[in-house]
Structure 1
Amino acid sequence: MSRLFTILIVVLLGCRVYAQQPKFVIEGRGQGTTYSLQYYAASAFITKELVDSVLAVIDRSMSLYLPQSLISRFNAADREGLVLDPHMERVVRRAMQVHRRSKGAFDITVKSLVSLWGFGAERIAKLPTQSDIDSVMQFVGMDKLRLRKHKLRKTDSRTAIDLNGIAQGYTVDVLAELLDDYGIENYLVELGGEIRSKGLKAAQQPFEIAIERPEGAQSSRFVLQLVDKSVTTSGNYRKVFDYQGKKIHHHINPKDGYPLQNNVASVTVVATTAMDADAYDNVFMALSPKEGVALADKLKEIEVYIIYKQDNDYKEAFSKGFSRYIKN
């Protein structure tokens, strides 16, 4: 899955290695971005070919850029629906849960709106009119989907789904599970800025993640220390422009069809799984800072750090448990 915004996380790793367990690094490209697996083990159990084969399987399931992928076939199909593979079923079920918990802020049926605004695979010659948006909004909404016994169907044949807001995090989780299967206990997996860690790095130290701040918000730059956690960052202060008084960027509001209009610049989410962190960073981008913090405080194992703009300056908001991950 190719993310349409610039990832705001930089991984900081020490150069020392365990005497008994050397560090192995696998790097490459996949899902329209780069990936890196760093792990400590007695031997190099994981190969690049194995990693690439896992990415290829997930692409055949959920890539919008492959005409014969499962998701592309669903989007092109009529209302009869399609039997999902285990990967896509896990992601769709989680997307439905996040949709409910976010009261509709997370919605995978926005694909047609994303394309309408020119953030899909094809470019557009002009921005949509209100009439264009109203037309597409008729078949947007999670209430148009039905998932029963591994089969996903839609009540409107025009409805199409986009899993880019959750599937890349899921891919990170699958790669982490691959390392787990080989008995590797200390690792960090990164794909397009989506990160999941387990155990410790060199010298029994936690993995460290530096949060890149928006320009003008460097006053409290910090580093996160993660053990058995995932982290993602999403932002809208790059690749954004104004049109008729509105901010135009790839985060689309499923309730009115327009790019989100709020003062949130970026969010960083810490969660147990990268899939949850990936999904909820979209949710927190859609909410006000107050609403975002309140939601994170209600959710189990979800913490958020929000940068927002107020009175021409950047401000910060934290959920209750976020500070325990900040390096002193």
Structure 2
Amino acid sequence: MINASIKWLALIGLAFFISSCTKPEPALLKVQGQTMGTYYQVTYVLSSEQTSNKQLLSNELKELIDLQLELVNDQMSTYRPNSELSLFNKSNSSLEVSDATVKVVSKALEIYQQSGGAFDVTVGPLVNLWGFGPDKKPNKIPDAELIEQTKQGVGSQYLSIEGNKLIKAKPDLYVDLSSIAKGYGVDAIAEFMEAKGINNYLVDIGGELRASGTKLNQQPWTLAIERPGNGQNVQRLLHIGNSAIATSGDYRNYFEADGIRYSHTIDPKTGRPINHKLVSVTVIDESSMVADGLATAITVLGPKDGLEFATKLKQPVFLLTKQGDGFIESFTPEFEQYLVEEK
């Protein structure tokens, strides 16, 4: 009886020894929430050593990510009356702002110049006029005189930067960074993850993404270009490596009046919604902010001019253009390397 008990205790000790020597396994974790009027989701991999760091686990990391995103909103949201951007829009001439806001406005002005004015962050009054902005109005078509009158207050040529000061040449100039700030938010979270020593992640804010490293078992992050239409149809699968990707499209946010479809994307030159058949633009870049802004610029330019613009920049860009009941694909040579061959 005593001998049996000794054997039993020996087995218990052996089991404890084995379990205590077992190494922690790498873990795939996910953090998600709401920001900038949409969702965000951060998927990331912790190494076996990192799993013992409680600060890197989902609940703790979410609090820190939320703080980062709140800061971006406090800087660049047009929906928050006391954000830096809102205070600048209320000012008559200038306002001192953060390095982050200067960075985004500076890039917006650069893309404005590159695109010949197709990307214009001062187009907000026209967006509002058509009922797609913070000042939402009934779905109706503005008259031509009102459109021309509103256009007089629009133009990034009236916006400049000196140090950390944003300056407007027209007192009523209104800046809306919604076409580029979401991408900046993705970059900010990606840089935050890397500062925490997390190098395998996928950051997604409302469909603007940035990837780094791999999933578990060294599997690449696989992304999809959506085919416009009903349901979640996939047009193409992608492996983007350590890059960012942004998609702009007019197939979700629009209204119809008298049988005509009006897109939420406004052409600054005409003051009216775009009316070409380019329905989706996907851009890959090192920066989600850059990809976000370029996707909007190319959407405004349209299928022909947009592709020529992307080709000139040697930018990886994929376009979907409506033709009859289907779509035509076109892309720059730089984009082809990211396409996944379907089996």
Question: Within the alignment, does 1:26 sit opposite 2:31 as a pair?
Answer: yes
From the superposition, tell whether residues 174 and 295 of structure 1 become closer, same or farther in structure 2 (CA, over 3 Å).
Answer: same
From the superposition, tell whether residues 37 and 312 of structure 1 become closer, same or farther in structure 2 (CA, over 3 Å).
Answer: closer
Amino acid at match of 2:285: A
Computing the radius of gyration over CA atoms, which structure comes out larger, 1 or 2?
2
Partner of 1:97: 110
Instruction: Could you tell me which runs of 5 or more consecutive residues in structure 1 were left unpaired when the two chains were aligned.
Output: 1-18
Partner of 1:321, secondary structure, is helix
1:30 offset after TM fit, Å?
A: 1.4
Question: Distance in 2 between the 1:218 and 1:72 partners?
Answer: 36
Question: Distance in 2 between the 1:306 and 1:57 partners?
Answer: 33
Q: Is the 8 A contact 2:203 2:210 kept in 1?
A: yes
Matches within 5 A, 1:181-192: 181-192=195-206
Question: Distance in 2 between the 1:102 and 1:111 partners?
Answer: 18
Question: Distance in 2 between the 1:219 and 1:192 partners?
Answer: 17
Question: Distance in 2 between the 1:69 and 1:191 partners?
Answer: 20
Question: Within the alignment, does 1:221 sit opposite 2:226 as a pair?
Answer: no
Partner of 2:126: 113
Q: Is the 8 A contact 2:160 2:167 kept in 1?
A: yes
Question: Distance in 2 between the 1:158 and 1:219 partners?
Answer: 43
Partner of 1:84: 97
Question: Distance in 2 between the 1:82 and 1:179 partners?
Answer: 31
Partner of 1:262, secondary structure, is coil
Question: Distance in 2 between the 1:192 and 1:151 partners?
Answer: 30
Question: Within the alignment, does 1:233 sit opposite 2:244 as a pair?
Answer: no
Q: Is the 8 A contact 1:246 1:261 kept in 2?
A: no
Matches within 5 A, 1:1-328: 20-41=25-46, 42-43=50-51, 45=56, 47-79=61-93, 81-125=94-138, 126-215=140-229, 221-243=235-257, 247-300=261-314, 302-311=315-324, 313-328=326-341
Amino acid at match of 1:111: G
1:246 offset after TM fit, Å?
A: 5.2
Question: Distance in 2 between the 1:175 and 1:217 partners?
Answer: 29
Q: Is the 8 A contact 1:270 1:303 kept in 2?
A: yes
From the superposition, tell whether residues 62 and 263 of structure 1 become closer, same or farther in structure 2 (CA, over 3 Å).
Answer: same
Instruction: Could you tell me which runs of 5 or more consecutive residues in structure 2 were left unpaired when the two chains were aligned.
Output: 1-23
From the superposition, tell whether residues 222 and 313 of structure 1 become closer, same or farther in structure 2 (CA, over 3 Å).
Answer: closer
From the superposition, tell whether residues 217 and 119 of structure 1 become closer, same or farther in structure 2 (CA, over 3 Å).
Answer: closer
Question: Distance in 2 between the 1:327 and 1:145 partners?
Answer: 42
Amino acid at match of 1:320: P
The CA deviation string for residues 82-140 of structure 1, in whole angstroms up to 9 with x for no partner, is: 01201110000000111111111100000111111111122224431111111111110
Question: Distance in 2 between the 1:234 and 1:84 partners?
Answer: 28
Count of residues paired in the alignment:
309
1:321 offset after TM fit, Å?
A: 1.6
Amino acid at match of 1:95: A
Amino acid at match of 1:214: P
Partner of 1:10: none
Q: Is the 8 A contact 2:226 2:233 kept in 1?
A: no
Q: Is the 8 A contact 1:241 1:247 kept in 2?
A: yes
RMSD, aligned CA: 2.1
Partner of 1:165, secondary structure, is coil
Paired-residue identity, %: 37
1:240 offset after TM fit, Å?
A: 2.8
Q: Is the 8 A contact 1:247 1:259 kept in 2?
A: no
The CA deviation string for residues 192-250 of structure 1, in whole angstroms up to 9 with x for no partner, is: 11100011112212100022102399998321012101111121123434446753121
Partner of 1:109, secondary structure, is coil
Question: Distance in 1 between the 2:43 and 2:233 partners?
Answer: 31
1:32 offset after TM fit, Å?
A: 1.3
The CA deviation string for residues 151-197 of structure 1, in whole angstroms up to 9 with x for no partner, is: 11111111101000000000000000001111111111011111000
Q: Is the 8 A contact 2:320 2:328 kept in 1?
A: yes
Asked which structure has the greater RCO (Cα within 8 Å, sep 6+), the reply is: 1
Structure (1/2) with the larger helix percentage: 2
1:28 offset after TM fit, Å?
A: 1.0
Q: Is the 8 A contact 1:172 1:190 kept in 2?
A: yes
Amino acid at match of 1:87: A
